């Protein structure tokens, strides 16, 4: 099964072109929570076309300027598709939404990331870096997921124990934390005890 996830602005042309070029059984539209009248008509046109082609349509409302929220949402959508072939169309919508979709793709491994040229409906395929699973070890990823706001080492030790990583000792945790900080994925407070906070880059890889 093939799914196209598409950022939507006001016009439907880029989405229609990607469907004609790639085909799909399911279309997920990332639309603004505050649709303009023009955008509403564009969504209706896209839904009508999909209905004629027997394509299932799902609409996801977004705040187009909330980059981190949209990254998380798009990562979840891609993961939810499981073994389905996913094509991510980042043509439509505000630039922050398109950027969020592209960044989410770097850690979620869709089949393709495409941008459709407005002038001729030709696709530009965006390179996939797929850095998510390769950049961090299992321990680092568990630590990153455990860090909220003002997290202590004790909180992290509890999270690791819950993942059956009992063999990870204190000095190893500290080494992971220093390396995560050097990578710009967490910040460390100056006080005692040290407290750890996730950065936007770290949030991307959670």
Q: Which residues pair with 56 in a beta bridge?
A: 26
pLDDT band at 97 (very low <50, low <70, confident <90, very high): very high
Tell me the domain boundaries of the chain: 2-125, 136-204
Confidence class for position 200, pLDDT limits 50, 70, 90: confident
Counting beta carbons within 10 angstroms of the beta carbon of residue 114, is it exposed (0 to 12), middle (13 to 18) or buried (19 or more)? buried
CA separation for the pair 88, 131 (Å, rounded): 17
Q: Is a pLDDT exceeding 60 seen at residue 166?
A: no
- pLDDT value for 134: 60
Asked if 6 and 91 count as a contact pair (C-beta separation under 8 A), the reply is: yes
Residue 2 has pLDDT above 80, yes or no: yes
Q: Which residues contact 37 (CB under 8 A, 6 or more apart)?
A: none
Residue 3 gets which letter from DSSP? Answer: E
Greatest extent of the chain over all pairs of C-alpha atoms, in Å: 63
Q: pLDDT at residue 163 above 70?
A: no
CA distance 187 to 190: 10
pLDDT interval class at 40 (50, 70, 90): very high
Q: What class does CATH assign to 2-125? A: alpha beta
76: pLDDT confidence band, cut at 50, 70 and 90?
very high
Global pTM value:
0.77
Q: Which fold has domain 136-204?
A: Arc Repressor Mutant, subunit A (1.10.10)
């Amino acid at each position: 099964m093939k799914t196209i996830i598409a950022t939507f602005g006001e016009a439907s042309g880029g989405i229609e072109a990607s469907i004609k070029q790639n085909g799909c059984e399911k279309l997920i539209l990332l639309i603004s929570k505050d649709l303009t009248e023009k955008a509403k008509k564009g969504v209706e046109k896209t839904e009508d076309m999909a209905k004629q082609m027997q394509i299932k349509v799902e609409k996801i409302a977004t705040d187009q300027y909330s980059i981190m929220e949209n990254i998380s949402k798009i990562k979840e959508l891609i993961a939810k598709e499981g073994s389905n072939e996913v094509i991510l169309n980042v043509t439509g919508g505000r630039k922050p939404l398109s950027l969020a979709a592209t960044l989410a793709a770097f850690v979620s491994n869709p089949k393709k990331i495409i941008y459709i040229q407005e002038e001729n409906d030709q696709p530009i395929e965006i390179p996939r870096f797929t850095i998510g699973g390769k950049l961090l070890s299992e321990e680092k990823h568990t630590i990153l997921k455990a860090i909220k706001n003002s997290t202590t080492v004790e909180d992290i030790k509890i999270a690791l124990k819950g993942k059956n990583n009992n063999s990870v000792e204190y000095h190893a945790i500290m080494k992971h934390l220093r390396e995560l900080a050097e990578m710009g994925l967490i910040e460390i407070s100056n006080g005692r005890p040290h407290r750890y906070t996730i950065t936007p880059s770290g949030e991307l890889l959670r």
